[in-house]
Amino acid sequence: MTSIYLDYNASTPIDPSVTAAMRPYLDEAFGNPSSGHWASLPAKAALEKARGQIAALLGCAPDEIVFTSGGSEANNLAIKGTFFALRHKGEHIVTTTVEHPAILAPCRFLEQLGAAVTYVPVDSTGRVDPEDVRRAITPRTILISVMHANNEVGTIEPIEEIGAIAREHGVRFHTDAAQSVGKIATKVDTLGVGLLTIAGHKLYAPKGVGALYVRGGLRLEPLIHGAGHEHGRRAGTESALLA
C-alpha cells in the first residue's frame, strides 16, 4: 500500500532543487566563510546569496537576516535576546495562549528571571483580538510576540493590526512565521514587525536551518557568545550548506 504524507505543518520533504543547491557545499566549497582567503570565497558568496534571497522574500535588507539552527532558536533569540537587551527599560512580555512551545517555554523560563508575561486568550477559532493585546500593554512592556499562522488549526492572526498597536506604543513586535513564510505574504513592513522567525524545514529545506529577521537598529543580546558572526548577533562558524 502506498503511504500518503499529510503532515506538512510538522515538516516538509527536502525539495530536489534544494538538494542540488546544497551538493557543492558537501563536496567542494568547504572553506570557512569568515576566513577571507580563496577557499572561503565560494562559501561566503553562497551564504550572502541565500541571505539576499530570504531578504527579497521578506522585503528587507540582507543584513537584517540572521541565520539560526531553526525556528526554535530564532524564537529564543527574539524573546530572550530582547529581554536581556531591554530589561533596563522593562520586563513585561505580551504573547498568546496558543503560541508554539518555542515561544511559551522561553517565556516561562524568563519568568524565573523576573519577567512578567501576559498570556492573552483567543476565541473559539484560535484568533486573538488585537484590542486584548492593546489592553495588555503596560509602561513596562518590551515585547509582543504573536504567531502569524497557527500550526495546529491554521488560524491567521491579525498581525498587521497588532503591528500598528505595537508601533503606537513603541513596543517591539515579533511574529513566529514558521508556518506562513512561503505560503502567504510575509513582507515585514506590511506586517509591521521588528522580528520574524523562519523555519527552513517547513518550506522544503532541511531540518536544522532557520532565520530570524531583525529590523535594522534593534539590539538583541546573543544567545551564543563568541566571535562576531552574523553582525555580532549569533556566534559560530556560518554554514553555506545550511544557508
Cell of 37: 582567503
Residue 54 lies in a domain: yes
Has residue 136 got a pLDDT over 90? yes
Query: Is 49 part of any domain?
Result: yes
- Domain membership of residue 151 (yes or no) is yes
Region 201-226 average pLDDT: 95
pLDDT digits (tens, 9 = 90+) for 71-94: 999 999 999 999 999 999 999 999
The enclosing domain of 32 has a CATH number of 3.40.640.10
Among the residues of the chain, which ranges form H helices? 16-27, 41-58, 71-86, 101-111, 130-136, 159-169, 188-191, 229-232
Give the chain's domain count: 1
pTM: 0.96
Give pLDDT tens digits for 103-131: 999 999 999 999 999 999 999 999 999 99
